[in-house]
Structures are given as structure tokens and as C-alpha cells.
Structure 1
Amino acid sequence: MSKITEIELNLQHDSDDIDYSSLPILDEKDYQFRIKSLLQLASSQDYTHLIIYGDREHYSNIHFLTGYDPRFEEALLILSLEQEPTLIVGNEGLDYSAIIPFNLQKVLFQSFSLVGQPRGKSKSLREIYQSAGIQKNSRIGIIGWKYFIPIECTNPSKIFEIPYYLVQELINLVNCENLKNASDLMIHPDYGVRVSLDVKELIYHEISGTKASRKVLQTLQNLQVGESEIDASRHLAIDGDPMSTHPNINFGLENVLPGLKSPTYHKRLELGEIINICMGYRRALVARTGLYVRKKEEVPLKMKGILENFYAPYFQALCNWYEALHIGASGDQVFQAVKKSIGDFKEFGIGLNPGHLTHTEEWTNSIFFQGSNHQVKSGMALQCDIIAFPGEPYGGVHIEDGLFVADEATREIIRTQYPDSWKRIEHRRQIMKEILGIDIADEVMPTSDIQAMLFPYMGNTKIVLSKI
């Protein structure tokens, strides 16, 4: 194991260096290409139609294909090779669907609207299905937000995670054996159409990662002992960009341990306790969990040795994760690289995968598990996400940042067409290699301004761990 040391790093950034006018615009050509790619994949698996469900929480598939994200209501997108796409929406979704930058059939289905809103002006669900060309012998792939594997159920292809009434009406219309769960077409790590992303999507990941990381750093640098969690959350200065998760600002192990807790009004920051700061925009989440002190002398007596016994092996595991990441690497190779540093996951307090795929939702899928043969591919957007909570005496630590993987041709497009993003990526790569001592591959594109930085004293962001 490399020697882990503390080094001083003066973190500065220009909060105004994001030129939003240069952001790529997703247009009709992009969405039509995505729909065509999905339909080609569906056809290869003998589907005649795809029915894609979305709601406020599970918006990513429809959003990826149309730019439309269900907000208050539910929605269905029906695709086939024979007819133009059909988008089924509720009362408020009908007007909002004007944001879609291409023509498609829009159908009002008022049962998708909120309870108590007007009803009676729309066709029945059966009539809508039939108008979209669905009949008895149609072969339907149903896409919700997850697929299943044999250890979960007897017949995974026949388990549907979308609302029952939508499936029931299909059963009344189509031979039941012709209905299958097809969510894998979107998110399977080997062939899902949302796994290897185009350059425009990757640039949005870079922008989101830049913003999220700066919000987290800004919050850490402005925390004050005695302020409440809700007061501290104001340091995030959240703007109008949609978020993928609720922001987490938590003080004290009792508030940090639940993992997903929103800031409270009553818990106030104390010196020497575990804290958590987490901010997620669509396409990027950045999180930091650790001990809030400003220098080594403030580490509580019961936590003496936290750097040597806990942070050092964790940081080494973090470095191993990044250094094992390259195009063609298997998920198991990265998993084993992490395990090499920390040993038994359970004993070290790790209960989830050490990383995952990400997109507009925070967690799309994961290839990082023991025995995984799924390979890292160009265009993958990933989260390094190693959550360790072994309990007393050290509490926990969590360093989470996003990145994407880009082959040489993709990197050249970014360098020439999106020079601002490229400049930020190159600067982060330089810090990781020359200051943190992490030997990342050429294809690893960091999107966080604090990528892989472990602050051993969370009250002092000038001190980070390094292998140099």
C-alpha cells in the first residue's frame, strides 16, 4: 500500500467560468436518432411495440427520448416501427409537452391527471392503445425503470414495475405471453441505449458536475459551528436547474446514518462530529462525509487514529478504483481493486456497490460488483461512490464524485468543440495525477472540481490526502 500523507491544496475556482450560451442543444435530430436506435434494438428482440412509462420520479427514459419529463403527472410513450411515436399525457402534461422539439402524436388521457381534476374528455386507455396500432398479436416490451434477474423472481420477463391498471388493459387486449419487461433495452450495461452517451450528453454531465461540486465545496468552506442544518443548506445557493436527489446536509452521526435525510431546523453543528454534505443535479451528484474539525489537534480522543486506521485505507481504495478504471476493464476488476485496500466490505462498513452508472437519475445501473463481467465502455457516465460506515469509533466516510469515460475520438470532439469543458477536465486530471497521486487512464474524464479529494479535517478544505 502506498504511503498516504496530508498535503496542502489551495482550492480556488472561478464561479463564473461556465458559459451557458455554449451549452449544446438537444434537437429533433438527436431525439429521432435515439428513438431509431431503441426501435432497432427492440426489433432485434422481436418486439412490435414499446410502451415506456414515466412519472415525476421515473422520468429519465421518456426524457432521454423526447426531452419531456413528467412532472405532476404520469405519462406513456408508445413506439413502433409502423407509426409515429405516441405520447399519452394528462391535463397539465398536454401543455407542457410543447417543449418536445419534434412532431409526435399527443393524446390526452385525463386519468393521468391529478385527482379531482376534470375528467371525461379523453378516450379510454383501450382505445388509445388500439389507435397506436396495438392488437391481439402485438409483441409488447414494457419499459418502466428497472428489470429483474432470476434470484428475485420466478419469471423476470413477466414482472412489471409500472402501475397495474396500465398492464391490465394491455392484458385485456394482447395475448399475455406477448408482454415482457423490456427495461433492459434502456439501462442494461452491455447494450442499453442510455449507457453509452453521446458527446452532447457528456457535456451536460461536465456542467452538472462542475456546479454540484462547487456547491458542496462552497458549503464546506462556509460552515459555522452553531448553525443549524437548515441554515447551512443556504450555502448551497441552489439555482433553478432540476435536481436528481434531495440535498443532504446533516450534522452528527444520528442524522448522518439514515443517509437520505433532509436538513433539520434544530440540529446545530458541533466541533468533532461526523457531518454529511450532498448535492445532486441531474447528471451529477457530489457528496462528502467525514469528521468536522479544523486541525488534527481537534480530533476527539475516541477517534484518535482515524487517519491511519480508517481514512488511509479508504483513500487507497478510492485511488485503486480510479486507477483500475479504463475502457475494457470489467466491473469485477474495479471491485477487486477496492477490496484489495479495505478487505472485507462488511467489516469496513460498505453495504452497496463501490460505484455505479448515472444519468439524469442519480443511479441508472451498476457494473461494480463481485464477479461482474460487464465492461467499462466509452460514453459511460459513472459515479465513484464508496460509502463506508463501520460505526464506532470512526463513524463513517463517503467521497462521491462523477466522471465519464471517453475514447480518443470522443476526447478530440470535446477538445475542439467544447474547449471550456475540456480545460476544466484537464485541470482536474492534472490535480488528480500530480497532487493526489492517482494515476488515471487517458479516458477518465473527471467532472468534479473536488474529484477524489478526502478532507481529513472537514472544517479545513486546504488539507487533502495524497499518495505523493
Structure 2
Amino acid sequence: MTVELAPVSVPDFGLPLQKPSVPVHTYDLRCRETYARAGCDWVAVYADREHFSNIAYLCDFEPRFEEAILMLGPEDARVIITGNECVSFAQAMTRLSSFEVRLCQAMSLPGQDRSRAPSLLAVLKDIGIRAGQRIGLVGWKPPALEAGEDAGFFFPSVYVDALRRSAGDPLAVVDRTESLMHPEQGLRAIVDADQIAAFEWAASRATAAVWRIVTQVREGDSELEAAARMAYAGEPLSAHVMLASSDASGPVVGLRSPTARRLSRGDGVTTAVGYWGGLSARAGLISDGDDDFLKTASAYFKGLLTWYETVDIGIAGTEVFSRVSETLAQGGLASMLNPGHLCGHEEWVNTPIRPTGDYRLRSGMVFQVDIIPTPMPLGWALNCEDPVVLADAALRSEIATRHPDVMSRIDARRSFMSEALGVNLGPSILPLGQTPGCLAPFWLKSGHLLVKG
């Protein structure tokens, strides 16, 4: 496999303005399926500002400033319990055919009124939870059993304690997070055509924002000025906006927010923008050429090509992991984290792409092509992250029927990757972003991309 740096014009695939919506009946079905899978009398789904994705997936509400718990119970009971500021927000935003919103002021910010409904225990009793019932918890991630840690809950203990007291037996409260977040069988691991269309809206806009930074950045920009070139329009964020740089005196810290530091020729630079359903990241040099860097970037790009040309419906996640790792190793590189993971409202749901484990890739999985190369010399940065979805013929047909504009953009991106970048894509891989596989190693020469020779 050979890689070249070549002039490539990235087409305008069209930027969607109106976000496609997921129907109310779909949210109803998600709640019913979550309840059925849990096998409990009640299911409690926790959410806060950082860990909102499970509740958003189930009802399209996500708390702001405070916490919330969605209780799913007998006879389609759906109760959102939240604090002072989010009661009216939940009433306005929740997309379920029937639901209640209950105030629990313990979930409010410190110093706010606690005089009306301070006790979660009282709210739980009032909605019908009784001693002897079994409660399944959906926290923000499954217990870390692989590490040999105690099988606790990723769910605040103050709320777990209240749920245990309501059930009358600590052992009646059990973890059911994997019913949503298992890397292959979790309900959120597979999404439908409407959710794919909504995520494509986010991915299109996030990737376009990052590409505006890459193509418009100038030597002498501050990091803040460079980040402002993304032209943020207020889309809901899945992660804080990242932009960081460094010269050879230190590392490029990828998770850092932008500062007033000025970009100089030869600096390494990285940026990432993530919206609900799609994150994009790019990293390279503030330069128009560097032979040593190009050699490393080419080795990294071969790893990306291996990912795109290996991934398919039914393949084992271990095989993707090993093939990408082997290709990167030929260039002296490795992937810092798993080379690819499921994404949703948050950047990382879970991943079937692991060195061990019996997990298969399935139709309807939305993936972040997330290969962070390591090691990197001081002052260097490389990254090229994009979202894609795997879709069999039936799902592709449904997307085309329900969302023809979305499928038209996807088809155009597939043609671009094949014809301009030389990527041999299988029919099941649908690129969701505006710059799929576009790696410009030199940001002052962003019209030149790495391509398969």
C-alpha cells in the first residue's frame, strides 16, 4: 500500500439546516424495550449535564444545570424526577406520548429553595414504588468488572440509597446499564433510519466546523482566533470545543481548550468539535511541508485506510483491532485507545473493537473512526476522526426512502472517498461527515490531502 500527498478539492456536499426529528412513537418503543430488557418492576435512568445520553435517547429531554432520573415502571409509567430549573424544561422538551414530571429539590443547585419537595424518598413513594419491588439502575456506564473492581453502580450513591430504602432491600437494586450500553446487544448500539438522519445532521455540521478551522487557519492566529473560524452556530455539544498547539518544547495536549497562544510555523496543532451524534477531529502541523512528518502521517493514514477497508457488518471487533494495529505498527505507531467506538449523543457509548471479546459489528451501529496515533514527538500532532454508520441493504433503502437528501449526501461522500482518496469502501459503510477520510497533514497547505496511491 502506498500513500501520496496530492491536491484534492473537497466537494460541497450540502450542509443540512433543519435537523430531522425522531418520532414520538420511537421514544415510546425505546422506553418499553428498556423496561422489558431490565426484567425489573422499575427502571431508574440517571442523568446530569455530563451524563445525559441515556435519558436523551429515551425521551429527548436532558437536564441542564442539575440532575434528573427517568423512572420507567408498570403499565407504561414514565416519570421524570428533576430539580427546580428543569421541571418546566422537561415538560416542554420530552417526546413521549405520556409522562409525568415530578419535582425533587435535592436535585437543584446549592442554595436554591428546598421547601416544597426536598425528599427523593417521598417522591419515589408517591409515584408507587413499594417495598419488595426490584429496581434496575441505568448509570452513565456499566460496572468495570474487567478490572476486578467491586461491582458498584455508576449512579450517585445518594440516589442509590434512596432507591434501596424504597425497595426495602439493598439487594433488590441491581445494575441494568448494559441493557442500553452493551457494545453489541445494547439498545443504543443499534439505531434506526430516523436517528441516523439526526446524527448525520450533527456530523455534517461538526465536520464542516472543523474543516473551516483547518482550511482558514493562519500563521500568527491565536488559538482562540483559530477556534473562532469554526463559525459555531449554537448546536448542542457532545464535548467542549478543543484546540491546542505547541512547539517542540512540549506536547500538543489534545483535550485542552484554546488559549491566547499564537500559532507559529512548525507548531503541532489539533482541534475537535463534537455535536450530538457526530464528532470530528483533525491534527497536523502549521506548515506547508515537512518530509519527516509526512512519513509518519503516511504511516498513520495507512492505518485509517485499513480501518475503512476492513470494517463490515458481521466482522469481529477483535479482527478490526488487530488489522489496524498491525498496519500502524509497520510505521512504528499504535492507537492510543481502541481504534473506533460507538457514538451517540455522547462521543463514546462503548466499543466492540477490542483486543479481546466476542463482539461483532452490526447494521445500525454508528462508529467514530477514532485512531489517535502514538508515540508522537514533542510539538507534533496527528489525527483524523470522522463518524460513519454501518447499514445493510434494508437499512440503506429505508434511509433513502425516509430521508432522501441524507442518502444523497452519503452517496456523494462515498463516491468522493473512492474516486478522490482511493479508499475501497464496502457497501455497508456510510460516511456521515463532510470531510470523510480527509487528512491534510500541513494546515498551511490544506488543499493537499493524503491519498491512496
Query: Which TM-score tier does this pair reach, normalised by the shorter chain?
Result: over 0.9
* 1:128 aligned residue: 123
Residues 260 and 154 (structure 1), Cα distance of their counterparts in 2 relative to 1, 3 Å cut: closer
Question: Of the candidates 429, 432, 435, which is equivalent to residue 420 of structure 2?
Answer: 435
Question: Of the candidates 406, 421, 437, which is equivalent to residue 406 of structure 2?
Answer: 421
Give, as a single letter, the amino acid of the residue that structure 2 aligns with 1:37.
Answer: E
Residues 12 and 433 (structure 1), Cα distance of their counterparts in 2 relative to 1, 3 Å cut: closer
2:63 aligned with 1:90:
no
Question: Of the candidates 303, 306, 324, which is equivalent to residue 293 of structure 2?
Answer: 306
Per mean C-alpha deviation after superposition, the further-off stretch among 245-254 and 196-205 is 245-254
* 2:110 aligned residue: 115
Give, as a single letter, the amino acid of the residue that structure 2 aligns with 1:129.
Answer: L
Kindly report the root-mean-square deviation, in angstroms, between the aligned alpha carbons of the 2 structures: 1.9
* 1:316 aligned residue: 302
Residues 233 and 393 (structure 1), Cα distance of their counterparts in 2 relative to 1, 3 Å cut: closer
Structure 1: distance between partners of 2:31 and 2:224: 42
Question: Of the candidates 14, 27, 30, which is equivalent to residue 31 of structure 1?
Answer: 27
* 1:105 aligned residue: 100
* 1:338 aligned residue: 324
Residues 446 and 255 (structure 1), Cα distance of their counterparts in 2 relative to 1, 3 Å cut: farther
* 1:54 aligned residue: 47
* 1:150 aligned residue: 145
Structure 2: distance between partners of 1:173 and 1:451: 50
Do 1:219 and 1:232's aligned partners in 2 also have CA atoms closer than 8 Å? yes
Residues 131 and 153 (structure 1), Cα distance of their counterparts in 2 relative to 1, 3 Å cut: farther
Question: Of the candidates 11, 16, 19, which is equivalent to residue 18 of structure 1?
Answer: 16
2:174 aligned with 1:189:
no
Do 2:141 and 2:154's aligned partners in 1 also have CA atoms closer than 8 Å? yes
* 1:64 aligned residue: 57
Tell me the SS of whatever aligns to 1:103: coil
Residues 412-457 of structure 1 deviation map (CA, whole Å, 9 limit, x = unaligned): 1222222211111111111211221211110100012211122132
Tell me the SS of whatever aligns to 1:78: strand
How far 1:259 sits from its partner (Å)?
1.9
Do 2:105 and 2:119's aligned partners in 1 also have CA atoms closer than 8 Å? no
* 2:230 aligned residue: 236
Question: Of the candidates 213, 219, 222, which is equivalent to residue 216 of structure 2?
Answer: 222
How far 1:172 sits from its partner (Å)?
2.4
Residues 169 and 19 (structure 1), Cα distance of their counterparts in 2 relative to 1, 3 Å cut: closer
Structure 1: distance between partners of 2:144 and 2:242: 32
5+ residue gaps in structure 2?
none
Residues 155 and 132 (structure 1), Cα distance of their counterparts in 2 relative to 1, 3 Å cut: farther
Give, as a single letter, the amino acid of the residue that structure 1 aligns with 2:316.
Answer: S
Do 1:389 and 1:396's aligned partners in 2 also have CA atoms closer than 8 Å? no
Structure 2: distance between partners of 1:407 and 1:255: 45
5+ residue gaps in structure 1?
none
Residues 396 and 225 (structure 1), Cα distance of their counterparts in 2 relative to 1, 3 Å cut: closer
Give, as a single letter, the amino acid of the residue that structure 1 aligns with 2:7.
Answer: E
* 1:9 aligned residue: 8
Residues 164-184 of structure 1 deviation map (CA, whole Å, 9 limit, x = unaligned): 111112232321111112111
Tell me the SS of whatever aligns to 2:352: coil
Residues 18-51 of structure 1 deviation map (CA, whole Å, 9 limit, x = unaligned): 251xx432232121111111112112xxx22111
Question: Of the candidates 360, 372, 375, which is equivalent to residue 390 of structure 1?
Answer: 375
* 2:387 aligned residue: 402
2:437 aligned with 1:452:
yes
